[in-house]
Amino acid sequence: CPAPSALRTGNGTRICAQLYTDNSPYYDQCCAGEVLVVQPGDDVPYMPWHWRNAISSLVVGTRCDLTVWSRSGKRGSSRRFGA
């Protein structure tokens, strides 16, 4: 997985989080598969349908927090992730 401080686009713009579809018990094989990029300030109350129940690993950048909910529309229980 990339280091939280290394989350940047090709032109150097900061990324707040990257979510991945594939995971592995072996650390060097984690953070694989499709990638969903979360930009600073993004507010997404509904995940794209093909990402529902598909995220298996994530990396949150420095100076960012990622809050997720168990139900769509920011309902249900929530959990906050940081770097």
What is the C-alpha separation between 77 and 61, in angstroms, rounded?
Answer: 23
Q: Residue 6's pLDDT is what?
A: 92
Question: Residue 48 — pLDDT band, cuts 50, 70, 90?
Answer: confident
Show Cβ contacts of residue 19 under 8 Å, excluding neighbours closer than 6 positions.
35, 36, 38, 51, 55, 57, 58
What is the C-alpha separation between 79 and 50, in angstroms, rounded?
Answer: 21
Q: Containing H/E element for 6?
A: none
Instruction: Please state the pTM of the whole predicted model.
Output: 0.83
Q: How far apart are the first and last CA of the chain?
A: 12
